[in-house]
Amino acid sequence: MSKKWINRLSIPLLASTLLVAGCTTTEKAATTVEKKAIEGGTLVMASNQEPDTLDIQQVFSGDEPRYQAYEPLFHLDHNGKVVPGLAQEYSVSEDGKVWTIVLKEGPKYHSGAPVDAESVAKSLNRFRDNKSGLYAMLFGSFEKAEAVDKKTVKAYFTEPFAPFLASITSYWISPVDPVVVDREGENFKNKPSGAGPFKFVEQQRGSSVTYEKNPDYAWGPEYSKNKNAPHIDKLTFRFIKDPQTRVLEFKKGTIQILRDVQPAFVKELESVPGVTLNKYTNAALNYIGLNTKKPQLSDVRVRQAISMTVDREEIIKGAMEGYAEPAYSPFAPKVPYWSEKVEQEARKMYKKDIEKSKQLLADAGWKDTNGNGIVDKDGKELTTELYIIQEQIWERSAQIVQSQLKQIGIDVKIKPADLTTVVKQTQEGVHDMVLFSYGWNDPDILYIILGKGTKQIGIEDAKLEELFHKGKTTVQPEARAKIYEELQRLISEQAGMVPLNVPQVIDAYHDIDGYMKNPYMFNTIFSDIQLKK
Amino acid sequence: MNVQPNNSNLATVQHDGVAVLQPHQPKSLASEIFFRLMQSRGAVAGLLIILLSVLMAVLAPVLSPYPIDQMNLDQRLQGPSAAHWFGTDEFGRDLLSRVLHGTRISLLMGIVSVLVAGVIGVLLGIVSGYYRRLDLAIMLVTDILFAFPSLLLAIAIVAVLGVGIGNATLAVAIAVIPYYVRQVRASVLAIKEKEFIEAVRALGMSDAKILFSHILPNIWAPIIVLSTLQFGGSILAAAGLSFLGLGAQPPIPELGTMSYVGITFMSQAWWLSVVPGVVILLIVLGFNLLGDGLRDALDPKQ
Amino acid sequence: MSNYLLKKCLSLVATVFGVSVLVFCMVHMIPGDPASAMLGQFATEEAAQEIREKLGLNQPLLHQYLQFVTHAVQGNFGTSYFTGLSVWEEIVNRFPITMQMALLSLVISTVGGVLLGVVAAVKKGTVYDFVSMLISLIGISAPPFWIAIFLIWFFAYKLSLFPISGYNGLASLWLPAITLGLISASSVARMTRSSMLEVLNQDYIRTARAKGVRPSGMIFDHALKNAFIPVLTIIGLQFGNLLAGAVIVEAVFALPGLGTFMIESIVKRDIPTVQGLVLFMTVLFVLVNFITDLLYGLFDPRIKYE
């Protein structure tokens, strides 16, 4: 008897409740009460990637969540100029093999120990001993570091290493707390400690990393407003892999800052009241890597034809919702020694021209002899496999490139795989083409892509090798600029790399004041931020 | 299996001018089953849905108003209109054309998975149940495959072989094989008991004859039901793999991939995700309805 | 009985061993290696080689397998290549989350599914039957990630009844559990319905009815008990599906459970973690099936363990 009642009433009752509830939405409406900036509170930021280790010297993934306990030796300000961090000045010897770094008076590690030359030298040597993956890029021919007196450290190299400047202006070479290192040994990565504006609190694997403010902090960089301890009490990074979920949490208000917003979500976020979007570029550049060792790509004319056919504007529109700037030269504008001149030359040289591309292919012997839409030569068709990392931006860019190259008769098959697989396969030279991105505050990083013996592009050119070597070992900026201008020109002419665009990174935030991002440091200035309640 | 004539359907027959009620005479086993199938509204609905999908799939090249890879970046993310009945996707490609081709792909994936799994599974089941050789080994392998939740198994296979539509189909097929093996083996064992197969064998009847005249006629019914139901399951599994990025890769218009990629554009163009998703839903629903109907129609007890 | 148990135990052990070999082979067949994963795009070959040496990846495969197995049997799954933490510890930390969610889903699925199925069977042919079966048909036909996203959007975002993502104790597991439970309940409902119908149509039930015995008493005493055996099979199978479905659900809800752990480890080629995890999960799955088999005895003493 009672069952009948329940059956009869429950369904319509449930349905109407949901309907009513759904209509009276609890979406965040624009409040008429102005929110005010407060002191204290917990700031939550959503991140995609959880760091494997919080030891800053083990250079794996997960940048911002790893930086907060550390302070670098120098900073780059918003114009890319070197400004003091824990150190106040540097100089390089005549022969380029000795760097002298003079530290500031006053900064202390979280353990209370002073940031002195002894600890900094120890820190640099520890990085050398760890030999992490980016060692060649960051330390090159580093030999050892020594404390000369309380405030002065000397770093010795076996041959000049100009890129060291980019290293000491990055978080990765931040000094680590010697007391904690000695005490924890291997376990340091679970109890990170440096001289940064925040102290490590806890890490919940798979969920979040939390920091609290360092009340003794008083050595913030000159480009930040608040050079003392942060306004907020706690800083939490939450790791949410699914982009849709991240956006929902942000809209609901449980997260104040959303970084690396995918272009497709921008419109949606722009329409939410109270949300601000910050768009900026950094040193990253998206490009197509062409494997010149493969027969169909070994002729430079074929490669140049590809560069002339790829419509960069279309890719920006279709794959990145317009949030990128086209690039024709192999450096992003924010990379030191980027040459405006070469960029203009490249723009002229590779201006989109389908007819000219087809002519170039024909000159190289590729014609469509059987009328099937794909050019061929000596009985072989021009087919290529484009390797990409399985992420939306690459998948979309690849599809557009595929349809564009079809216009000149080049067949492209898209081969997506995860990052690790793509990295391994391109290092082995299995691919024909690959869509990649690279970026760093020093042009020497290109050596990893184009150097002798590398297989991603596989060009063997004595002049290229010579320029790279000269660029790495020339410390003097004007001389370096000349070398890199020549290098950019040469790379552009060889068309082993087809630059596509400089992507805009987009961050979204609400309910906070004082948000500032430093694209050169790949970091947000958290000490300036105040929550609004 | 004995199929009883359906006594509740009587027909009138003229006999020497006098109307006599005659019991309904079945013309053949197939038509009898078909007749009973038609009695179930669900099965009829399912069959209609399936026929419609097959029609769409087969005629996809003819019915599609645009090529599936034709990009038109000025007309991205547009809603349904006269020019594009289902709107356009993030590249300006026509969604209707892509969904039509997607139906074809999903159905093909389902067919291939079920076929591959079915053939291998039935063979193994017969070897295991009838010949009894390798029975222990086959059952062990089957148990191991069953021990892996099927999605994990599919993920593992795709991780090794690489992503893509072919490997995903293979992965799904491999995950389905154990179901066939178990079902066929159980049926064969049951038949052996009932029809004194051992005795007949001892009397000299050839294996082939036994298989064809005794075993097969009795196991095909559950196999058909299993296949129909696994069809839907395979299509869903393929969609699940696409969600994890392991299935068919863009620009291939597989319905699961399209539905997943479309989620990113949910706020701007919800139809990109919903339409392919609904089509998957309907196709799988159709097969489930048909499968249920077949199971009822083939069941001797009802 | 003990003979049956012994055979079952042996096959269990054999299965687990077989799984260990399968896992090991698969993990080592995945293209790319941990060194590439660790170093990323800007690595050099020498650095990669150094790492491979350190991790013992250059040793012969058989040697590596034996090491894996002998350690595993002692409960030592090694340490992660990336975090340096003990794999066993990581599994133990994340296991409760996945387990709680799976159990919660199982409860929702069983209660919901059985109720729906019983209602549909008892009210066969009425609108309740039709609606119940329609709901369950949709439940097993719709793409799971769709259901998850829709539920989040509606119940967590619009209605704010639950948190959207992340793990914050039991409360944050409800929505994920409901997602999984709904899909699973659909299968259970269908099975319960057909099973109940079979039983209800049997002669002895009809006789009792004809004699005037009250239907509700009969339903819950005889019919349900007898119908429950095939339903139990389905529930046992559902557990495996729930563990697998957990992978998708955990990804969408950002839960730090075994599912997301598995995917991350595969992506990073963290071999010890993947091996340990898969072994752990399949042993769990096999154990659950084992227990389900044993539970048959509770519901039907007629089943002899031949």
Residues in B touching A317 (Cβ below 8 Å): 73, 76
Query: What is the Cα–Cα distance from A402 to A385, expressed in whole angstroms?
Result: 10
Q: Is residue B113 part of a domain?
A: yes
pLDDT in the model for residue A533: 82
- Select from C137, C247, C288 the residue whose CB has the most chain B CBs within 10 Å, as the one to mutate to test that interface: C137
Query: What is the Cα–Cα distance from B263 to A123, expressed in whole angstroms?
Result: 46
Q: How many domains does chain B have?
A: 2
CB contact under 8 A, C158 and A61: no
For residue C181, give the nearest of C277, C95, C249 by alpha carbon. Answer: C249
Looking at the partner chain, which of B71, B265, B268 has a beta carbon nearest the beta carbon of A403? B71
Residues in C touching A136 (Cβ below 8 Å): 44, 47
| Same domain as B245, residue B129 | yes
Q: Is residue C202 part of a domain?
A: yes
Query: What is the Cα–Cα distance from C238 to C110, expressed in whole angstroms?
Result: 10
Residues 81-100 of B with CB under 8 A from C: none
β-pair partners for A90:
A101
| Same domain as C98, residue C47 | no
pLDDT in the model for residue A10: 47
Residue scoring higher pLDDT (A67 or C80):
A67
Is residue A207 within 8 angstroms of chain C, CB to CB? yes
Nearest CA in chain C to B290: C137
Residues in A touching C165 (Cβ below 8 Å): 240, 242, 245, 248-249
Q: How many domains does chain C have?
A: 2
Please compute Rg for chain A using Cα positions: 26
| Same domain as C108, residue C36 | no
State the DSSP H helix or E strand holding residue A383, giving kind and residue range, or none if neither. strand A383-389
> Domain limits at C200?
93-299
| Same domain as B23, residue B141 | no
Is residue B149 within 8 angstroms of chain C, CB to CB? yes
Number of CB pairs, chain A paired with chain C, less than 8 A apart: 142
> Is C60's pLDDT higher than 70?
yes
Hunting for tokens 């609890």 — which residue is that? A26
Percent of chain C with pLDDT over 70: 87
Number of CB pairs, chain A paired with chain B, less than 8 A apart: 53
| Same domain as B225, residue B289 | yes
Instruction: Grade residue B213 by pLDDT with cuts at 50, 70 and 90.
Output: confident
Among A453-462, B47-56, B140-149, which stretch is predicted with the lowest mean pLDDT?
B140-149
> Is B6's pLDDT higher than 60?
no
Residues 6+ apart with CB under 8 A from A28: A251, A252, A253, A272, A273, A274
| Same domain as C97, residue C67 | no
| Same domain as C23, residue C148 | no
- Summarize pLDDT for C246-275 with one digit per residue, the tens: 877 888 888 888 888 888 888 788 888 888
pLDDT in the model for residue B142: 83
CB contact under 8 A, A390 and B245: yes
| Same domain as B58, residue B34 | no
- Summarize pLDDT for B120-172 with one digit per residue, the tens: 999 888 888 777 767 877 887 887 777 676 777 777 788 778 788 888 899 98
Q: How far is C95 from chain A (nearest CA, A)?
A: 12
pLDDT in the model for residue A333: 94
Instruction: Grade residue C289 by pLDDT with cuts at 50, 70 and 90.
Output: confident
Percent of chain A with pLDDT over 90: 68
Residues in B touching C144 (Cβ below 8 Å): 236, 240, 243
Instruction: Grade residue B14 by pLDDT with cuts at 50, 70 and 90.
Output: very low
CB contact under 8 A, A245 and C154: no
Q: Is residue C130 part of a domain?
A: yes
Nearest CA in chain B to C245: B151
* Percent helix, strand and coil across chain C, each to the nearest 5: 80, 0, 20
- Summarize pLDDT for C183-211 with one digit per residue, the tens: 888 888 888 887 777 777 776 667 767 77
Query: What is the Cα–Cα distance from A241 to C248, expressed in whole angstroms?
Result: 12
Q: How far is C226 from chain A (nearest CA, A)?
A: 22
CB contact under 8 A, B244 and C263: yes
> Is A23's pLDDT higher than 60?
no
Q: How far is C69 from chain A (nearest CA, A)?
A: 26
Residue B71's SS3 state is coil
Structure tokens at A43: 């700031």
Is residue A189 within 8 angstroms of chain C, CB to CB? yes
Q: Is residue C128 part of a domain?
A: yes
Residues 6+ apart with CB under 8 A from A428: A455
> Is A9's pLDDT higher than 80?
no
Residues 290-349 of A with CB under 8 A from B: 314, 317-318
> Is C297's pLDDT higher than 70?
no
- Summarize pLDDT for A123-179 with one digit per residue, the tens: 999 999 887 767 888 898 999 999 999 999 999 999 999 999 999 999 999 999 999
CB contact under 8 A, A420 and C37: yes
Residues in A touching B264 (Cβ below 8 Å): 243-244, 262, 264-265, 392
| Same domain as B275, residue B150 | yes
For residue B246, give the nearest of B159, B145, B160, B175 by alpha carbon. Answer: B159
| Same domain as B206, residue B117 | yes
Show which subunits contact A, needing at least 3 CB pairs below 8 angstroms: B, C
For residue C272, give the nearest of C25, C38, C86 by alpha carbon. Answer: C86
> Hey, CA dihedral for C252, C258, C261, C262, is it positive or negative?
negative
| Same domain as C250, residue C129 | yes
Residues 241-260 of A with CB under 8 A from B: 243-244
| Same domain as C132, residue C237 | yes
Looking at the partner chain, which of A131, A134, A205 has a beta carbon nearest the beta carbon of C42? A134
Contact (CB, 8 A) for C218 and C256 = no
> Is A14's pLDDT higher than 60?
no
| Same domain as B139, residue B124 | yes
Residues in B touching A318 (Cβ below 8 Å): 71, 73, 76, 90-92
User: According to DSSP H, which parts of B74-164 are helical?
Assistant: 95-126, 135-147, 150-161
> pTM, whole model, 2 decimals?
0.83
| Same domain as B151, residue B287 | yes
pLDDT in the model for residue C128: 83
Query: What is the Cα–Cα distance from A264 to B162, expressed in whole angstroms?
Result: 27
CB contact under 8 A, C45 and A427: yes
pLDDT in the model for residue A285: 95
- Summarize pLDDT for C222-252 with one digit per residue, the tens: 666 666 667 777 777 777 777 777 877 888 8
| Same domain as B252, residue B183 | yes
Percent of chain B with pLDDT over 90: 13
Residues in B touching C31 (Cβ below 8 Å): 162
> Hey, CA dihedral for B67, B69, B70, B72, is it positive or negative?
positive
pLDDT averaged over every residue in chain C: 79
Is residue B245 within 8 angstroms of chain C, CB to CB? no
- The residue length of chain B stands at 302
Q: Is residue C194 part of a domain?
A: yes
Q: Is residue C117 part of a domain?
A: yes
Instruction: Grade residue C220 by pLDDT with cuts at 50, 70 and 90.
Output: low
State the DSSP H helix or E strand holding residue A279, giving kind and residue range, or none if neither. strand A276-280
pLDDT in the model for residue C259: 83
Is residue B53 within 8 angstroms of chain C, CB to CB? no
Query: What is the Cα–Cα distance from A94 to A108, expressed in whole angstroms?
Result: 32
CB contact under 8 A, A395 and B76: no
Residues in A touching B73 (Cβ below 8 Å): 314, 317-318, 400
Instruction: Grade residue C84 by pLDDT with cuts at 50, 70 and 90.
Output: confident
Q: How far is C38 from chain A (nearest CA, A)?
A: 7
Query: What is the Cα–Cα distance from B6 to B297, expressed in whole angstroms?
Result: 11
**Cα A30 to Cα A27, A35, A36, C238, distances in angstroms:** 10, 11, 15, 45
Query: What is the Cα–Cα distance from B22 to B7, expressed in whole angstroms?
Result: 10
Residues 235-264 of B with CB under 8 A from A: 245, 249-251, 261, 263-264
Residue C162's SS3 state is coil
pLDDT averaged over every residue in chain A: 89
Instruction: Grade residue A183 by pLDDT with cuts at 50, 70 and 90.
Output: very high
Q: Is residue C87 part of a domain?
A: no
Nearest CA in chain A to C82: A52
* For residues C59-83, average pLDDT: 82
Residue A253 amino acid letter: G
Residues in C touching B141 (Cβ below 8 Å): 18
Measured from the Cβ of residue B113, the count of other Cβ atoms closer than 10 Å reads 27
Q: Is residue C13 part of a domain?
A: yes
- Select from B152, B229, B230 the residue whose CB has the most chain C CBs within 10 Å, as the one to mutate to test that interface: B152
Looking at the partner chain, which of B143, B159, B288 has a beta carbon nearest the beta carbon of C266? B159
CB contact under 8 A, B239 and C29: no
User: What backbone torsions phi and psi does residue A428 show, to the nearest 5 degrees?
Assistant: -90, -5
| Same domain as C266, residue C152 | yes
Structure tokens at A39: 């002191």
Q: Is residue B256 part of a domain?
A: yes
CATH for B169: 1.10.3720.10
Residues 171-200 of B with CB under 8 A from C: none
Q: Is residue C11 part of a domain?
A: yes
Among B4-8, B160-164, C24-28, which stretch is predicted with the lowest mean pLDDT?
B4-8
Residues in C touching B156 (Cβ below 8 Å): 23, 26, 278
pLDDT in the model for residue B7: 39
- Summarize pLDDT for A388-426 with one digit per residue, the tens: 998 888 999 999 999 999 999 999 999 988 888 888 888
Q: Is residue B302 part of a domain?
A: no
Residue A7 amino acid letter: N
> Domain limits at B13?
1-39
> Is A210's pLDDT higher than 80?
yes
| Same domain as B48, residue B20 | no
C-beta contacts of C293-301 below 8 A and 24+ residues apart? C293/C8, C293/C236, C295/C232, C296/C229, C296/C232, C299/C225, C299/C228, C299/C229, C299/C232, C300/C226, C300/C229
pLDDT in the model for residue B235: 87
ipTM of the complex: 0.79
| Same domain as B160, residue B54 | yes
Measured from the Cβ of residue C37, the count of other Cβ atoms closer than 10 Å reads 25
| Same domain as C227, residue C153 | yes
Peptide bond connecting B251 to the previous residue in cis, omega within 30 degrees of 0: yes
| Same domain as C151, residue C16 | no
Residues in C touching A61 (Cβ below 8 Å): 40
| Same domain as B26, residue B84 | no
Residues in B touching A401 (Cβ below 8 Å): none
Nearest CA in chain B to C32: B160
pLDDT in the model for residue A22: 43
- Summarize pLDDT for A313-338 with one digit per residue, the tens: 999 998 998 999 999 999 999 999 99
- Select from A250, A265, A425 the residue whose CB has the most chain B CBs within 10 Å, as the one to mutate to test that interface: A265
Residues in C touching B260 (Cβ below 8 Å): 145
CB contact under 8 A, C165 and A245: yes
> Is A16's pLDDT higher than 70?
no
